[in-house]
């Protein structure tokens, strides 16, 4: 099976804004994302912003409705076409362009804010993407992002459970080897000149991240003692809670998401560009 198969996004382009389509689940991630972003940018009016990997325009429209001067870029021509069509129908002035994140077609020091969500784990070279984002940000500009950690927990949740078992995500959309450790990403950003790097857990899964960590420990150590019995009871409790969350998704298309300190599966963050950049 092909990994990191992005054809799903092309195939979903015509249904991007259909509330009954599977792709529309991504729309519901906007509110919790921007609750985090708003901690650092409380007023978006008049800011020049870029969404790297904008897809059909969920985040672009969210920012444009707040008064931001909004740009979006994506490698999928079909997604850009869908984004342009929907923004036009809603009288939103968003400047969309087809292009790749590794070579952004914008001048140096152009944007006040750049966001890149649900993208870094899919690109060919995330290091080059971050470098390009740094280049197009204005000095003192802010970079917002979210992505997926690379460990046993993320393989279990994002590949085995979400793709292979529940089929909430088409099999093959992700490649676990392209997931990014938070410390790797932070080290890269600091080396480029970003500062005030902050990361938090972007938690769709509740306590199951902790439980999977314990499961991995038991798997490695093979200690089936009393503590393992306690763990199994905890696993059952957490699984029931996450099944309720899954049922909520099936009914409404949305998840119960929290921003916390558990970065074990997904994480969200911000970084500032050095103000002294020429």
Q: pLDDT tens digits for 30-69?
A: 999 999 999 999 999 999 999 999 999 999 999 999 999 9
The lowest-confidence range among 13-22, 126-135, 192-201, 248-257 is 248-257
pLDDT band at 257; cut points 50, 70, 90: confident
Listed by start position, the domains of the chain span 7-147+172-201+267-272
Q: What is the pLDDT of residue 160?
A: 85
Half-sphere exposure of 55 (CA within 13 A, CB side): 26
Specify burial of residue 25 (Cβ count, 10 A radius: 0-12, 13-18, 19+): middle
Provide the mean pLDDT of the chain: 86
Specify burial of residue 247 (Cβ count, 10 A radius: 0-12, 13-18, 19+): exposed
Dihedral, CA atoms, 193, 107, 127, 36, nearest 10 degrees? 70
Say if domain 7-147+172-201+267-272 classifies as CATH 3.40.50.150: yes
More confident residue, 213 or 125: 125
Give dist(CA 81, CA 97) in Å, integer. Answer: 9
Q: pLDDT tens digits for 68-77?
A: 999 999 999 9
Query: Quick check: 125 pLDDT over 60?
Result: yes
With contact defined as beta carbons under 8 Å apart, do 108 and 80 qualify? no
Taking the model in full, what pTM does it have? 0.85
Q: pLDDT tens digits for 152-194?
A: 888 888 888 778 877 778 888 999 999 999 999 999 999 999 9
More confident residue, 256 or 243: 256
Percent of the chain with pLDDT over 90: 63
pLDDT band at 115; cut points 50, 70, 90: very high
- Most confident of the ranges 19-23, 60-64, 168-172, 261-265: 60-64
Helix (H) or strand (E) holding 192: helix 182-192
More confident residue, 24 or 65: 65
Query: Quick check: 209 pLDDT over 90?
Result: no
Percent of the chain with pLDDT over 70: 80
Q: What's the token pair of residue 122?
A: 């899919």
- Most confident of the ranges 168-172, 199-203, 206-210, 236-240: 199-203
More confident residue, 272 or 26: 272
pLDDT band at 130; cut points 50, 70, 90: very high
Dihedral, CA atoms, 55, 151, 134, 58, nearest 10 degrees? 20
Q: What are phi and psi of 30, to 5 degrees?
A: -60, -50
Give dist(CA 180, CA 67) in Å, integer. Answer: 32
Placement of tokens 């129908």 in the chain: 89
Placement of tokens 């790297």 in the chain: 52
Query: Quick check: 7 pLDDT over 70?
Result: yes
């Amino acid at each position: 099976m092909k990994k990191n198969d992005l054809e799903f996004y092309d195939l979903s382009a015509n249904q991007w804004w259909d509330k009954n389509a599977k792709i529309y689940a991504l729309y519901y991630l906007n509110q919790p994302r921007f609750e985090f972003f708003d901690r650092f940018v409380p007023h978006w009016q008049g800011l020049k912003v870029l969404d790297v990997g904008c897809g059909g325009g969920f985040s672009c429209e969210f920012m444009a409705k707040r008064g931001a001067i909004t740009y979006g870029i994506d490698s999928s021509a079909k997604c850009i076409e869908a984004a342009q069509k929907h923004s036009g129908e809603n009288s939103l002035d968003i400047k969309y362009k087809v292009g790749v994140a590794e070579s952004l077609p914008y001048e140096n020091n152009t944007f006040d804010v750049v966001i890149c969500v649900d993208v870094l784990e899919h690109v060919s070279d995330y290091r080059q993407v971050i470098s390009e984002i740094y280049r197009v940000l204005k000095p003192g500009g802010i970079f917002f992002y979210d992505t997926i950690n690379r460990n046993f927990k993320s393989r279990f949740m994002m590949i085995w459970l979400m793709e292979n078992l529940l089929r909430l995500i088409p099999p093959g959309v992700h490649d676990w080897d392209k997931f990014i450790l938070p410390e790797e990403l932070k080290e890269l950003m600091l080396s480029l000149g970003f500062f005030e790097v902050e990361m938090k857990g972007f938690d769709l899964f509740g306590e199951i991240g902790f439980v999977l960590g314990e499961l991995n420990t038991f798997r490695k150590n093979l200690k089936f003692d009393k503590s393992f019995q306690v763990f199994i009871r905890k696993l059952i409790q957490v699984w029931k809670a996450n099944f309720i969350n899954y049922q909520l998704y099936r009914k409404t298309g949305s998840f119960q998401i929290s921003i916390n300190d558990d970065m074990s599966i997904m994480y969200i963050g911000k970084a500032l560009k050095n103000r002294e950049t020429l």
